[in-house]
Each structure stands twice: as structure tokens, then as C-alpha cells.
Amino acid sequence: MKAIIGGTGIDRDSRFYENAISTVNRYGEAIYSIKDDIVYLPRHRPGHRLPPHRINYRANIAQLRDLGVTDVISIYAVGSITKLIAPTRFGIVKDFIDFAFGRENTFYDGAGDVVRHVPMIDAFDRELSAAFVATAAMEGFPIPANAVYVTTNGPRFETSAEIEAFRRIGGDVVGMTLGTEVALLREAGIRNASVAYSINWAAGLDAEGMAFMEGESIMKMVSTVIGLAEKTLGKI
């Protein structure tokens, strides 16, 4: 079984709520849909009801594991720090820096489990990432494959000084969810490729202040990315 995890904008796509199933596993509630052998998991729940720091990441990823999911393409709305992925564009994430805090962010929290420290040097599956890049190129979207994603805790946006600091330490895009989610996918042994699509310049980079893409344009981009994810997962 394969899965697509979607976030802001994506959870308004009908594939993510049409046949919603709500389950409770040992970590709490998870909601997902299944269509044509693909699991669609809206990380903020249908209707975007949970802010990033309140998402039950462990319940979501444990559910995918319980469903026998082996491959995931996870999709993230981000702000652009560099031009690598400018607003209205998308690309593959190759590494992350995690500044989130206060979240249940591990399956190995010492509560009855063994103590384990899972390496993150291979957090993103190379083959799956390359397959997505190849599918995108074939469909006319040449995309970068090497973005560094900075995870903030949110729900507030960043200060201009924070974004300047993130740029200096190598961040290309900023969001509030990837670090927590990808670490858990890695711990669960699920292959993952992450796609970031930018909906704004991060704080301090746009002379006009913070401006976001219109809902309709976001939906269009999201639908392209989901289509590419489905094609990629169908080929591997």
C-alpha cells in the first residue's frame, strides 16, 4: 500500500476527505481515505481543523504503518527563504532543520519501548525522490531536488530576523510540520519523499509584507502535485 500525506490547501482536495475513515490506534485518532489503493491522509484533518503543533503525528504515521503502507509522498505548503523554490513553484526536500518543540515526536519515548536513536542522514528515500523528479520532468515541470526545509513550531509566522537566521544556516523553505512528520516516518521504516510547494515569500523578504497565493491558484498547484505523486507511486 502507498500513501500521500497532504497539508494546507491539499486537505480541500476531495480525495482527502471523500471516503474519510476515522480510527483510533494506540496513539489516538487518525483520519484518512483510501482510493484506488492509495491512502490519502490530511495531516490537519479534513477541513483543516488542527494547527501544526496540535497534529497527532504519531497517530497518523502509526496508522499508515498499521495499514501496511511502505511508500509515502508527503506534501507541504511552505514559505520561500531562497529562490530555489520560489512562490508558485514546488520541489523535492533533501534535508531538514527542526526547531519545533513540545511535540510527541518519537515512537521511542522510553514508555515500554527500547531506547533507540534513529539516524536521519537518510530521512528521505533517494529512489522515490528521484522517481518524483523524473515524473515531474516528463510532465514538463523541471524541479529542484535539494531543498533544505526549516521546521518552526508555529502557529505564528516567523520574524524577519528568524528568517534571515534560517537563510544563513542553509534553509531554503520554511514550514511547521515536516521535521516532526518525516522523523516519525523514518522511525516507522516507511520510505518517504517530500515535496514542498511555496505559497509566499517568508517574513521580511517581500517589500509589501507577507502576501500569500490566492486559494484558487494554490488548489491548481496542489492538484498538479497530487497528480504527479499518484503517477510516481503507480510506477514504483
Q: For binding to ligand HPA (CB under 6 A), which residues are involved?
A: 77-79, 152, 157-158, 174-176, 199-200, 202
Q: Which residues of 127-141 are buried (b: 16+ CB within 10 A; e: fewer)?
A: ebbebbbebbeeeee
Query: Whose Cβ is closer to ligand HPA: residue 38's or residue 81's?
Result: 81
**Are 4 and 226 contacting, i.e. CB atoms less than 8 angstroms apart?**
yes
Query: Whose Cβ is closer to ligand HPA: residue 81's or residue 92's?
Result: 81
Query: Whose Cβ is closer to ligand HPA: residue 73's or residue 78's?
Result: 78
Q: How far is the CB of 125 from ligand HPA (least distance, A)?
A: 23
What residue number has its CB nearest to ligand HPA? 79
**Are 236 and 71 contacting, i.e. CB atoms less than 8 angstroms apart?**
yes
Q: How far is the CB of 203 from ligand HPA (least distance, A)?
A: 6
- Cell, residue 127: 529512489
**For residue 90, which amino acid is it?**
F
* Whole-number Å distance between alpha carbons of 146 and 126: 11
Q: How far is the CB of 129 from ligand HPA (least distance, A)?
A: 21
H-helix or E-strand containing 137?
helix 126-138
Query: Whose Cβ is closer to ligand HPA: residue 6's or residue 175's?
Result: 175
Q: How far is the CB of 28 from ligand HPA (least distance, A)?
A: 24
